[in-house]
Amino acid sequence: MLSKTMEGMDLPHNVKHVDVDLDPDLAQKYNIRGVPTLILLDDKDEEVRRSVGLLSETQLKEWADE
């Protein structure tokens, strides 16, 4: 559902979709326990902020612009 919301949006960050069932090591690395989870990473791949749960397009824009 979140992927559909993000389609066509002009977000200020690069977006990478990861299927945690297909990449459990990455899910463990970032301690992902619920889906959907959004994690904003800095240039050193360190977490800046996180959101768990479905977001509307408006909420997603606000989260990405913080």
Q: Domain coordinates of the chain in residue numbers?
A: 2-65
Residue 46: predicted pLDDT: 93
pLDDT in tens, 23-62: 999 999 999 999 999 999 999 999 999 999 999 999 999 9
Indicate the length of the chain as a whole number: 66
Cis peptide before 24 (omega within 30 of 0): no
Domain 2-65 matching CATH 3.40.30.10: the answer reads: yes
pLDDT over threshold 90, residue 12: no
